[in-house]
Structure 1
Amino acid sequence: MNETGTEANILEPEEVAEGESEPAEPSFRVVVANEQSSLAIDEARLVTAVEAVLADSSYPTASISIAVVDDPTIHALNVEFLNHDYSTDVLSFVLEDSRGCLEGELIVSTDTAIREAAEAGWSSQDELLLYAVHGALHLVGYCDKQSNTQAEMLSAELKYLRRLGIALPRDASRWEHAAEDVAGQSEELLP
């Protein structure tokens, strides 16, 4: 009984009430399909990046595929699924989102990564990793269509890049507004 005279339902940490089970450990399955020949891919880094985003999400179970493609392929997919007649860096598709289970697909372009990395001043591998993080953030619910949500997305990208040990590129201007818009974090966000 507790102080109000009702029965207290307090379980010791190692005790579980009858009929209940311990919460399951997160279960993530991330697979990479390398469908291009422009860039050698470190598949383990891409998997680690997506798993990092998933681990912080509300999804205890997720199955994500990452297709690594060239610009003509991502251009065709962008036209087919989004009616956008141009190449892009990453496409993300939620295939299923029910009962705590997320199933999704990311498609990243190595040709775009090679071009953008040269402009930014970092490796194509790091640029591609950014695309995987960005796409995974979309899958777990981040949006970058409005300026206020764009700042949140950019801030999250920075968090995961840092967590993965990635130094920002020489030209980190794409994250400047995130540093300005996310209160109290500006010193932490930019180099």
Structure 2
Amino acid sequence: MTVQLEWNNSQEAITIDEKLIEMCKTLLHIAASEESINDGEVALSFVDDDTIHELNKQYRNIDRPTDVLSFAMEEQGEEDIELIFDEDDQQEESTLLGDVIISVHTAIRQSEEYNHSLQREIGFLFVHGFLHLIGYDHEDEQSEKLMFAKQEAVLTKAGITR
């Protein structure tokens, strides 16, 4: 079993093409492997600033858009099990690790601000969100350094540089 990516798109700023999804799948597999996570599922949503603003306000009580939100299933005291089938139609269980939600509008602005590609910014935000799903945070300087080092290591391993 491997870590799976499910995704959806509810924004119109850019076209979400197969190349972008393949990049996210590669990043997910690298990050999961680095963290010794062998199975599970991550749901990735591409949204606009209005949608992420509402979610940020509703769930974090912060009244502004943000770049990425993560909702870990274990954090909420739930463990969602989804039944899937392998190539031989054998039933397997897949644990939903959680949801990563990226504002494409904010990613566009940040990619311009940081002077790198939109693909790199989306990749960075996706890995950042995934690490939050599995328990990493950046509440203090030490944990921020650790989390950002892990993000950069995954991006570098995938060949995505500034």
TM-score grouping bracket, smaller chain normalisation: 0.7 to 0.9
Cα deviation, residue 60, structure 1: 2.7
SS at match of 2:37: coil
Give the whole-Å Cα distance in 2 for the aligned partners of 1:47 and 1:55.
Answer: 12
Letter in 2 for 1:115: R
**Structure 2 Cα separation of the partners of residues 125 and 110 of structure 1:** 10
Equivalent-residue separation in structure 2 for 1:102 and 1:35 (angstroms) = 21
Counterpart among 89, 93, 96 of residue 71 in structure 2: 93
Larger radius of gyration: 1
**Alpha-carbon separation, structure 2, partners of 1:58 and 1:80:** 33
Equivalences, count: 143
- TM-score, with normalisation over the residues of structure 2? 0.81
Match of 2:121 among 122, 127, 143: 127
Structure 2 distance, partners of 1:133, 1:119, is 19
SS at match of 1:122: coil
Aligned-residue RMSD, C-alpha: 1.9
Aligned residue in 1 for 2:6: 31
1:79 alignment partner AA: K
Matched, 1:157 2:151: yes
**1:61 Cα shift?**
2.0
Q: Distance in 2 between matches of 1:74 and 1:87?
A: 6
User: Contact 1:92–1:104 (CA<8 Å) still a contact in 2?
Assistant: yes
Q: What is the DSSP-based 3-state SS (H/G/I as helix, E as strand, rest coil) of the residue aligned with 2:73?
A: strand
State the Cα distance separating 1:101 from its structure 2 match: 4.3
Using the aligned pairs only, state the percent identity. Answer: 32
Answer yes or no: is the 8 Å Cα contact 2:138–2:144 preserved in 1.
Answer: yes
CA contact (8 A) 1:59 1:102 kept: no
CA distance in 1, matches of 2:3, 2:47: 23
Tell me the SS of whatever aligns to 2:62: coil
- Cα distance between partner residues in 2 of 1:57 and 1:159: 12
Q: CA deviation at 1:53?
A: 1.2
Report whether the alignment pairs 1:51 with 2:29.
yes
User: 2:41 & 2:5 partners in 1: Cα distance?
Assistant: 6
**Given residue 110 of structure 1, which amino acid in structure 2 is its aligned partner?**
V
**Partner in structure 2 of residue 176 of structure 1:** none
Under a length normalisation based on structure 1, what TM-score does the superposition of the two structures give?
Answer: 0.69
- Partners of 1:102 and 1:151 lie apart in 2 by 27
The structure with higher relative contact order (CA 8 Å, sep 6+) is 2
* Structure 1 contact 32–47 (Cα < 8 Å) conserved: no
Q: Is the 8 A contact 2:3 2:28 kept in 1?
A: no
Q: d(CA) in 2 for partners of 1:65 and 1:51? A: 14
